[in-house]
Amino acid sequence: MRDLVDISFLFDKRYKEIGIIDVRSENEFLEDHIPNAINIPILNNEERAIVGTIYKQKGHKDARLKGVSIVAPKLEDFIMKVKDVTDRFGDTLIYCWRGGLRSEASVTFSRLAGLTVSRLSGGYKSYRSEVNRFMEEDVGKFNFITVYGPTGSAKTKILSFINSDQYPFLDIEKYACHKGSSFGHIEEAGYPFVTQKNFESNIYYDLICRQKKLILTEGESKKVGKVVIPKNIFKKMTSGFGVLVKPSIEFRIKFTIENYNPQNNIAEIKNSLNKIKRYLDGNLYNEMLDLLDRGEFEKFTEIILVKYYDPLYKHSYIEKVNREISFDSIDEGIKKIKEIYDEVYYSFHNNVNLCS
């Protein structure tokens, strides 16, 4: 591997079978990072803040001297962590924010210790530019089957079971750590750590690793939780082959209760309910609070589905749904979605128009 490599080298490998070390601070890594990277900070959050303050107050030279004094005592530990990665992967790449001092110093120290490592030209910024380029230029190469349906119809679960090389599913809600509803953050432990950048990175990495260009996805609003679906992805989703799933209300109630575990999340549900209070009749709002307090979750769920979610989301379905399916079980839903995917995939490869 060359001493200095660019992002195309990693893209060609699909970010696999190579050690990738991110030497930025923990917070920088948490905001977003190159797929499959391992975080070994040369300066941690607090140390980076100290060096940054000195740089602003005293200048570049004093900041570098402080950086050396911080790194020196822990250099052996840093090198051993890098060695663990090189032992595991062989070829190993190190990067920082823009391919500057932190990655250059890390590579120098590692090579002095006899380790074979390279530096990423342009650092994380070059990777971020690649993600943006992909979203602008390459998304158009994909086609989408977009599955719509009322809240509680188990769309995500069905598509997750299907997800494979044969039936690729882009799980927007998984990457947003949000179920796409007013209560969508409940039972989502990763939600506090989601950023727009790592959300887009997950979508990017998912798509570039797919063998097929026909992708299953779930109909979503443009904003999911606290992130926004990239415009070209959203355009492909909303213009794709539309499938509307219509399970029974009994199925939806049962699935929703299983999915949200209301008995364990009363406080969060009440808080979310309060946020949509203005959309509910006052008496209905009080009745729903009372149902929660009494543990009557089936009745509460039926009301929230029928009187709030159904009217709210019905207008969001695409005007022309190409296919409607009904089912009374997860297995039946899986079977019918697979059949539709096979049919649409065949049509794309044989120029058959299923949308007329």
Report DSSP letters for 273-328, one per residue: HHHTGGGS-HHHHHHHHHHHHHT-HHHHHHHIIIIIIHHHHHTTS-SS-SEEE--S
- pTM confidence score: 0.86
The proportion of the chain whose per-residue pLDDT surpasses 70, expressed as a percent, equals 94
Tell me how far CA of residue 270 lies from CA of 177, 181, 278, 280, in angstroms.
Answer: 20, 14, 14, 14
Position 180, amino acid = G
pLDDT of residue 261: 84
* Regions of the chain with pLDDT less than 70: 180-184, 186-188, 314-319, 352-356
Decide if 54 contacts 66 (C-beta within 8 A). Answer: yes
* Count of helices and strands (H, E) across the chain: 17, 12
Decide if 121 contacts 48 (C-beta within 8 A). Answer: no
Q: Which long-range contacts (CB under 8 A, 24 or more apart) does 231-235 make?
A: 231/135, 232/135, 232/136, 232/139, 232/140, 233/135, 233/139, 233/203
Tokens of 229: 């679906």
CATH of 142-349, one of 3.40.50, 1.10.760, 3.30.420, 3.90.1010: 3.40.50
pLDDT of residue 272: 85
CA atoms within 13 A on the CB side of 98: 0
Decide if 60 contacts 41 (C-beta within 8 A). Answer: no
Report the alpha-carbon distance of residue 4 to residue 118 in Å, rounded: 6
What is the Cα gyration radius of the chain?
25
DSSP H helices, 73-149, are 75-89, 101-112, 123-133
pLDDT of residue 318: 59
Write the burial class of residue 267 (CB in 10 Å: 0-12 exposed, 13-18 middle, 19+ buried).
Answer: exposed
Neighbours of 80 (CB within 10 A): 11
pLDDT of residue 180: 63
pLDDT of residue 24: 98
pLDDT of residue 179: 72
pLDDT, one tens digit per residue, over 155-213 is: 999 999 999 999 999 999 999 998 765 566 766 678 999 999 999 999 999 999 999 99
Neighbours of 167 (CB within 10 A): 20
Q: Select from 186, 175, 319, 156 the least CA-distant residue to 233.
A: 175
pLDDT of residue 355: 56
Q: For the chain, what are the domain ranges? A: 4-131, 142-349
pLDDT of residue 313: 72
CATH of 4-131, one of 3.40.50.150, 2.40.50.140, 3.40.250.10, 2.60.130.10: 3.40.250.10
Phi, psi angle pair for 320, to nearest 5°? -120, 100
Report the alpha-carbon distance of residue 164 to residue 231 in Å, rounded: 25
Q: Select from 282, 331, 328, 279 the least CA-distant residue to 308.
A: 279
